Structure 1
Amino acid sequence: MTATLRLLPLLAALTLGTAAAAPLRWAAQNDILTLDPHSQDHTTSNAIGTHLYEGLTRLGRDYRPEPSLATKWTYLSPTQVRFELRRGVKFHDGTPFTADDVVFSFGRITQPQGTKQTYVSGVREVRKVDAHTVDFLLEAPTPMLLQNIISFQIMSKPWSEKHKATSTQDYKAREENFAARNANGTGPYRLVGWQPDQAVKLVANKDWWDKNPGNVTELSYLPIKSPPTRVAALLSGDVDLVTDLPPQDFFKLKAEGKVKLLEGAEIRTVFFVMDQGSDELRGSDVKGRNPFKDRRVREALNLALDREAIKRSIMRGLSVPAALMVPPGVNGYDAALDAPAKPDPARARRLLAEAGYPQGFEVPLHCPNNRYVNDEQVCQAAVSMWARIGVKARLVAAPFATHSQTFQRGESPFFMLGWGVSTYDALYALQAWGHTRTSGADGNFNFGKVSDAALDALVQKIKFEPDVPRRNALIREALLRVRDEALFIPLHHQVRPWAMKPGVDTPHRSNDYFEARYTTIR
């Protein structure tokens, strides 16, 4: 029995007993990590979470913030913003949405075991004014506030207390809580169930406060790791939509014309992270010191990569070789700065020798095998390129759920990561993975232990600079600092075409968040 055929009993079970007018089956390669909306800043988990939970603002079709659980906001001062909350909203369990839920959710998302504190960056306190009004008290004027809090999703305080889920799930410690497997938001869809590695099942929330412009009344998300199986499921009609079409199938399907294709870039950069904080690299043959602390070593690894070859042979032309750590479409991006150095293995070997590693060194390389486009194949190519300069990277490939837990526990000295800029502003990226790690929002995704005082100072200025030209100049300086100090090894910006049955109508979203509320199916 093929993997595609094995999906059929599951799909039948998920739809049994329902009378939906327009069910939609959506497939991509990796599963969600959790349903806890404050635990993991992971795109697939966030995309599902957007259907279930809402913030005070939301991302409109034009990628600008618009009212959601808040109907209005007023700046009482540069550091005090009053939000008037939408009345009559209920959580999926029927309990009313109030200011207490906003205050509670702020306390929850700021807990250090989660990775989403960036979305409330600059917020010192959320204070209840009355049942339907809250004030955000800011550390300083925060230009990105309305964009950031799109992803600050609101949970029910009574529900969380009832189910002992007041603490954010500690995913890296493999902790489970009720909110990790269950959901109770105010969003346009309700959770029916999640069977890990099989399906997430949602149904339309008939009591949603807004009007759903689409007609999808049931949504099944199906993680299908194998690219051929995903494509076969689409072609056979077992799924309706694939949002990570393999590059090797794109041109063939485009020529055949049997499915609808939506072409578009993704605001995601794929890169390699190096442990620059430990005194000795875990699993390396170098003892008593850390090669990644030396900029010459980092630059050598960067110069060894032939990004054009990877684009041509592995990505089939569907990637943008990168020198910057943010992609086109993000505020702060400058194409003039995004020109990768040509591969130069000879210079890379000289740099390694100057740094004291004339014979190179060994180090484990951790990569996912079901998260980014052709991720394991890209890592295999990088391993071969680094071997030419004497760096023996031992590939350890794993599903993203395992990969993510490993690097979050500090057990990956060298690993692949992809970063989508959900706020469409470079600060979100620079602050999360570039700032020295703290217990708060600054450095909350800095698992490479990068610590650069000059970059930290720039991030702090960017956070609170209200003048747009000055702020953009600071962003430019920060991105150049990251590039020129080789603090990371950017590989490419992803291009992510979507494929669907001809009867599906949905907009391509560059943040890789498929949204059923914008979708019609016939």
Structure 2
Amino acid sequence: MRLANLLTASLATILAMTMPSAGQAPAPSATAEGSTFRYAYRVDPASLDPHALAETFTLSFLGQIYEPLVGRGKNLELVPALATRWEQPDPRTWRFHLRRDAAFSDGTPFTADDVVFSLRRAKMDGADVAYTITSVTEIRKVDDHTVDLVTAQPNPILPLQITSTYIMSRAWAERHGATAPASVKARVENYASNNANGTGPFMIESRQAGVRTVLVRNPNWRGDNASNLGKVVFTPIQSDATRVAALLSGEVDMAYPVPQQDVPRIEANAGTRVLKGFELRTIFLNMDQKRDELLGSDVKGKNPFKDRRVRQAIYQAINIDAIRDRIMGGSSHVAGTMIAPGINGYDPRLDVRAAPYDPEAAKRLLAEAGYPQGFSFPMDCSNDRYVNDERICQAVVGMLGRVGLKVSLNAQTRTKFFEKVLGRDTAFAMIGWQPLSYDAHSTLQDTMSTPADKIGTYNIGGYSNPKVDELTRLIETEVDPARRAALIVEAMDIDKQDYGHIPLHQAGLAWGLRAGVDVVLRSDDSLELRWVRVEPRTAAAAPR
């Protein structure tokens, strides 16, 4: 991550670069165009290229600048965005009727040419969002305000899949040499990496990657911007303590996520409050089941993770309830399956442990598999991406150690972590997944299907079961809701019985706000700036 050392600096060091000097309150939180909103999150957007990385926060941030054809409302329902309506003239074609009143922030009118260009760009090598339109085989301009997306097979859920597939200006990209995606994983950059030109409600005024990004209202936005914001100042603050201190001191209007142990202190402070909920992201463990020899292990010539008994032993050695209670402050939802409540296809019957926490049973399974003394292997983990990520991994290492598995932890910043694990350079890793479609098909296709061309992109352990692959293909094309739900349960249950992955939990959401700030807490952990309203600070509330 750029300037990672800066993100762990003291509160004074960070905010000195983004706020007025100590002893001075900022100018009143209003400009001639509206109020100023200052907020902090744990990381910076990985790129401003909308196709560069399919990471929830990066896509959420870019969703304030760019727009998809189909968007999401306050309750995650589908709503018109750059398309006013959509229909199926035949089972393999989705027709999108485009807005005639949309324009990019540089004033360029939005047309079908931009849609065709952007979706073709999103399918190129290096585009991390390619999986959202894998089923699309042809992108066809009908006229200046109509586009057809043709799929190989009938795909009833395509509008669900493209709600974070953003549209760029073809003319802008061509003018600035950004016609190809600037892949974060491949460490490729172009003009779009640090500049943006979208049709969304806000636009970039200035950006210092890793330090501060300033947004202002897009004068060409034609939509329902219910906010009273004229300017938005975003500061990435990796340290939980520093982020909370910035909120309590009044230096920021919002800080998230808030650690559970700090919630009572924030709620007890007269000038701040906490909004709470549950994430739709499932945190889970991945075991390399593809290589014939496990990376970094003292077992040579074979891969223990190919043995279901070993995978089950790891599962039964992990006390997920203890992780919830001791690390997550009791706020997480223990996961028995790979999708969260609220994801289409979720079935509570699957949301229970596959086998009980039982270290002695784990030891017996390891002995049966031929490892009575256990074995060693490395674990990859991020230390700045998910709530308490490094602490969770440390706990897992300790629990596995009690059954004889000697695990060496490699915790890194999210940029290095994703580069490593998405390059399949890992034996055992913890990752999170929130389907952009909010549908189980995405989890099946992207984290559980056998890795192939733009399929199984985030199946970093290489889990492979032909029946899961077959069911996933059927789920994408099945139009009968009851039949489709049954197929999802069947596929999810196969992975569960295989111990193909080890789901841990969905973390609790906690957003810290100062008094006088109203936001909409969505379960996808996405802050939509067009719904933020900020009351001017009183003299007592102004930072000192």
TM-score by length of 1: 0.96
1:208-357 equivalences in 2 (<5 Å):
208-256=221-269, 258-340=271-353, 341-357=355-371
- Of the structure 1 ranges 407-416 and 44-53, higher mean CA displacement relative to structure 2 is found in 407-416
Q: Secondary structure at the match of 2:172?
A: helix
> Equivalents in 1 of 2:20, 2:147: separation in Å?
43
1:91 alignment partner in structure 2: 104
Matched, 1:111 2:124: yes
> Equivalents in 1 of 2:340, 2:264: separation in Å?
23
Q: CA deviation at 1:197?
A: 2.2
Distance of aligned partners of 1:168 and 1:286 in 2 relative to their CA distance in 1, 3 Å threshold: same
Unaligned runs of 5+ in 2: 1-7, 536-544
1:400 alignment partner in structure 2: 414
1:108-507 equivalences in 2 (<5 Å):
108-256=121-269, 258-340=271-353, 341-440=355-454, 442-507=455-520
Matched-pair contact (CA < 8 Å) for 1:117–1:444: no
Distance of aligned partners of 1:2 and 1:417 in 2 relative to their CA distance in 1, 3 Å threshold: closer
1:49 alignment partner in structure 2: 62
Q: Secondary structure at the match of 2:156?
A: coil
Q: CA deviation at 1:21?
A: 2.8
1:3 alignment partner in structure 2: 10
Q: Secondary structure at the match of 2:149?
A: strand
Q: CA deviation at 1:13?
A: 7.6
Deviation per CA, 1:333-362: give whole Å up to 9, x if none: 122221123211111111111222221111
Deviation per CA, 1:168-196: give whole Å up to 9, x if none: 12222211121111111111110123322
Aligned residue identity for 2:496: R
- Of the structure 1 ranges 488-497 and 105-114, higher mean CA displacement relative to structure 2 is found in 105-114
Q: Secondary structure at the match of 2:63?
A: helix
2:41 alignment partner in structure 1: 28
Q: CA deviation at 1:149?
A: 1.5
> Equivalents in 1 of 2:520, 2:226: separation in Å?
12
Matched-pair contact (CA < 8 Å) for 1:27–1:230: yes
Distance of aligned partners of 1:450 and 1:113 in 2 relative to their CA distance in 1, 3 Å threshold: farther
Deviation per CA, 1:8-42: give whole Å up to 9, x if none: 33224899997553111111212221111112110
Aligned residue identity for 1:511: D
Q: Secondary structure at the match of 1:173?
A: coil
Matched-pair contact (CA < 8 Å) for 1:273–1:489: yes
> Equivalents in 2 of 1:373, 1:154: separation in Å?
30
- Of the structure 1 ranges 367-376 and 6-15, higher mean CA displacement relative to structure 2 is found in 6-15
2:76 alignment partner in structure 1: 63
- Of the structure 1 ranges 74-83 and 266-275, higher mean CA displacement relative to structure 2 is found in 74-83
Q: Secondary structure at the match of 2:475?
A: helix
Q: Secondary structure at the match of 1:11?
A: coil
Matched-pair contact (CA < 8 Å) for 1:116–1:444: no
Matched-pair contact (CA < 8 Å) for 1:115–1:445: no
Matched-pair contact (CA < 8 Å) for 2:75–2:522: no
Matched-pair contact (CA < 8 Å) for 2:248–2:266: no
2:538 alignment partner in structure 1: none
> Equivalents in 1 of 2:287, 2:234: separation in Å?
33
> Equivalents in 1 of 2:449, 2:48: separation in Å?
27
Q: Secondary structure at the match of 2:419?
A: helix
Q: CA deviation at 1:210?
A: 1.0
Aligned residue identity for 1:53: Y
Distance of aligned partners of 1:162 and 1:128 in 2 relative to their CA distance in 1, 3 Å threshold: same
TM-score by length of 2: 0.92
> Equivalents in 2 of 1:465, 1:493: separation in Å?
28
> Equivalents in 1 of 2:102, 2:127: separation in Å?
27
- Of the structure 1 ranges 447-456 and 297-306, higher mean CA displacement relative to structure 2 is found in 447-456
2:528 aligned residue (498, 515, 518): 515
Aligned residue identity for 2:362: A
> Equivalents in 2 of 1:20, 1:381: separation in Å?
49
Matched-pair contact (CA < 8 Å) for 2:11–2:242: yes
> Equivalents in 1 of 2:208, 2:430: separation in Å?
27
Deviation per CA, 1:261-316: give whole Å up to 9, x if none: 21111101111111111122222212211111111111111100011111111111
Q: Secondary structure at the match of 1:90?
A: coil
2:539 alignment partner in structure 1: none
- Over the aligned positions, Cα root-mean-square deviation in angstroms equals 1.9
Deviation per CA, 1:418-472: give whole Å up to 9, x if none: 11233221111111111111223x2122222222111101100100000000000
Equivalenced residue count is 521
Matched-pair contact (CA < 8 Å) for 2:65–2:197: yes
2:5 alignment partner in structure 1: none
> Equivalents in 1 of 2:112, 2:202: separation in Å?
22
- Of the structure 1 ranges 292-301 and 246-255, higher mean CA displacement relative to structure 2 is found in 246-255
> Equivalents in 2 of 1:235, 1:363: separation in Å?
42
Distance of aligned partners of 1:422 and 1:170 in 2 relative to their CA distance in 1, 3 Å threshold: closer
Matched-pair contact (CA < 8 Å) for 2:167–2:198: yes
Matched-pair contact (CA < 8 Å) for 1:35–1:183: yes
Q: Secondary structure at the match of 2:142?
A: strand
Matched-pair contact (CA < 8 Å) for 1:421–1:511: no
